[in-house]
């Protein structure tokens, strides 16, 4: 898996941070939680506020899943998926509009959000060999820089020594409503009860898988976003960060 371009961008950011004397205050923020709990929205805002890198780890699992579906492969077969990953190049890079995802040189940033990908990705992410490689790459990406990273196992496995760990939760109803609204705003057809069922199933698979299941790290701060605005959630996380640095 090649991540050279992303490293290059990170190197530039590191140089900038060095120039500004920011590296002495290196901070790693881990944001975990179930599907559609608002992790990426909040993480992007925190990253912008602190001028640090945002890494969306779910995008890596999604890119591999997208390729597997394109090639009509069996996402439940660990050996098939492991072989596929060996022949796959996934690059994350920082664009002025945010993180973009390149799969074998093709920009799939939008495609990996398709419902068919969302409904299959947790199968791919349940395989031990896939996780091992993804987690290795994610650790390298966060090496030596300030980052905010979101996913399911960031506080527990990817960045176990993160200075700040957040676990975002929200009711299934609220999360489905948010996705439904987003879909309608984008002009997509959307079925609220189907969304609720899909989210429930994905949570179930992510929480009950054998390898690094979705679980709150012992030292993570839980925030229930059900009745909170994005701004309020961001404010609470910034306060938690302030206490640490
Ligand atoms: O965060 P997002 O919803 O894009 O993640 C898609 C899927 O990727 C999750 O449902 C989960 O199965 C998997 N994932 C994971 N570990 C991560 C990030 C995502 O298992 N760190």
For residues 89 and 228, give the distance between their C-alpha atoms in angstroms, rounded to a whole number.
38
Mutate to test the pocket of ligand 1, among 116, 125, 216 (most ligand atoms within 8 A of CB): 125
For residues 11 and 141, give the distance between their C-alpha atoms in angstroms, rounded to a whole number.
10
Q: Write out the two tokens for 228.
A: 């909170």
- pTM reported for the whole predicted model: 0.90
For residues 153 and 30, give the distance between their C-alpha atoms in angstroms, rounded to a whole number.
9
Residue 97 has pLDDT above 90, yes or no: no
Mutate to test the pocket of ligand 1, among 58, 62, 117, 128 (most ligand atoms within 8 A of CB): 58
* In the chain, % of residues over pLDDT 70: 90
Residue 16 has pLDDT above 80, yes or no: no
How much is the pLDDT for 174?
A: 95
- The CB-side HSE value for 237 (13 A sphere, CA atoms) comes to 35
For the chain, give the mean pLDDT. Answer: 91
Q: Is 122 in the pocket of ligand 1 (CB under 6 A)?
A: yes
Number of helices and strands in the chain (H, E)? 9, 8
Q: Is 32 in the pocket of ligand 1 (CB under 6 A)?
A: no
């Amino acid at each position: 898996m090649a991540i050279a371009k992303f490293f290059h961008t990170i190197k530039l950011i590191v140089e900038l941070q060095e120039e500004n004397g920011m590296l002495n205050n290196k901070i790693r923020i881990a944001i975990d939680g179930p599907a559609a709990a608002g992790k990426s929205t909040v993480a992007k805002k925190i990253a912008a506020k602190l001028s640090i890198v945002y890494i969306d780890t779910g995008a890596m699992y999604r890119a591999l899943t997208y390729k597997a579906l394109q090639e009509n492969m069996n996402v439940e077969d660990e050996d098939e998926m492991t072989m596929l990953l060996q022949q796959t190049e996934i690059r994350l890079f920082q664009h002025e509009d945010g993180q973009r995802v390149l799969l074998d040189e093709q920009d799939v940033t939008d495609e990996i959000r398709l419902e068919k990908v969302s409904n299959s990705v947790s199968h791919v992410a349940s395989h031990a060999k896939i996780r091992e490689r993804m987690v290795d790459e994610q650790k390298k990406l966060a090496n030596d820089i300030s980052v905010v990273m979101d996913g399911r196992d960031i506080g527990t496995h990817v960045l176990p020594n993160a200075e700040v760990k957040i676990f975002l939760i929200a009711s299934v109803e609220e999360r489905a409503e948010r996705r439904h609204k987003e879909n309608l705003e984008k002009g997509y057809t959307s079925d609220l009860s189907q969304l609720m069922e899909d989210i429930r199933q994905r949570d179930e698979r992510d929480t009950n898988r054998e390898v690094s299941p979705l679980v709150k790290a012992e030292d993570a701060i839980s925030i229930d976003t059900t009745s909170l605005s994005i701004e309020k959630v961001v404010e609470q996380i910034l306060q938690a960060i302030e206490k640490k640095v």
